[in-house]
Amino acid sequence: MVDTATVDDHGVAPEGLPLTDDYAGPRDLPMQTVVSADGTLIAYEVSGSGPAVVIIGGGLNDRAMFTPFAQLLSPHFTVYNYDRRGRGGSEYGNPEYFSMEREIEDLAAVIAVTGEPTSVFANCTGGMIAIAAAAAGVPMKKLGLYEPPYDSPKATAGQIALLKHYIVEDRRDEAVTLFARDMVRFVTPETLEHFKQHPAWRAFQSMAPSALYDGIISVDHNSVPLDLLPKVNVPTLVLSGRDSSAAIQNACVVVADGIPGAKLLRLEGEGHLFNQQTGAPLMIDFFAD
């Protein structure tokens, strides 16, 4: 276990998340869509050939964020890289009826497109969704997780209300800043201006309304779901960075211990930002077994 007793502030990246060149923007691939159970249109792209792998991102992640990862997997797998609702080419849906179940339905709809039980790679909040989906019986072959952020700071009622206010007024800079700096805490006051100069910031602005969904998930599903983990009956690999917050590292240990047969791999020199170049070979080996 990782000792969290001395950690006062355990946001997902208390020192600030470093942005790298991993963000490559959209690819020149045709966007396809599937209709989720509540009628929301979910966009995805397909690349490569071989067994199916679905990629699901975390907060303020769209499919463009995982272009490098999808490219690295494509020589080995047919990769379905999708936009969660409210991001990229996907529709926003009705926030009044949003819950974890809507996200599970979206993931299930994309998996159904593959026509087979498929392996799933899930980053950050996407891992919370994938765990709940697997426990609910959504067909999966294997599950790869990078740092589902359980036990991170829970969004407050005041933050959720302010975020809704910014979204209604289309104040996207303020919405992204509130989510990234104050709620999830992957941006610090010192790194905020650097983030605003990075090409990814424009993508964050475009996805600002979706921050509400991850905020709701943080409120309703903050704790490790100990009751769900034994129901995840697929081979699972949990990746965690040794430089990530102590709380997230500890949560990854608990997740790996709770899922039958799951393996935990802790990566030296890595933090909460998923290193796609480092992670891809590990997931290729895992999904190919």
Q: What is the tally of helices (H) and strands (E) in the chain?
A: 10, 8
How large is the angle between the packed helices 211-220 and 100-114, nearest 10 degrees?
A: 110
Distance CA 191, CA 194 (A): 5
* CB of 184 closer than 8 Å to CB of 147: no
Please check whether the domain covering 32-151+222-288 is classified as CATH 3.40.50.1820: yes
- Please state at what angle helix 125-135 crosses helix 211-220, rounded to 10 degrees: 60
Task: Please give the DSSP secondary-structure letter assigned to residue 44.
Answer: E
**How do 78-82 and 41-48 pair as beta strands?**
antiparallel
Query: Please, are residues 180 and 187 in contact by the beta-carbon 8 Å criterion?
Result: yes
Does residue 1 register a pLDDT over 80?
A: no
pLDDT tens track for 205-257: 999 999 999 999 999 999 999 999 999 999 999 999 999 889 999 999 999 99
Q: Token pair of 191, please?
A: 């790194």
Band (pLDDT 50/70/90 cuts) for residue 22 is: low
> Given a cut of 70, is residue 3 above it in pLDDT?
no
Give me the chain's average pLDDT, please.
Answer: 90
pLDDT band at 191 (very low <50, low <70, confident <90, very high): confident
Of the ranges 114-118, 187-191, 278-282, the best mean pLDDT one: 278-282
Helix (H) or strand (E) segment spanning residue 42 = strand 41-48
The domain ranges of the chain are 32-151+222-288
Structure confidence at residue 6 (pLDDT): 33
User: Of 208, 56, 54, 58, which is closest to residue 125 (Cα–Cα)?
Assistant: 58
Q: How far apart are CA 207 and CA 175, in angstroms?
A: 10
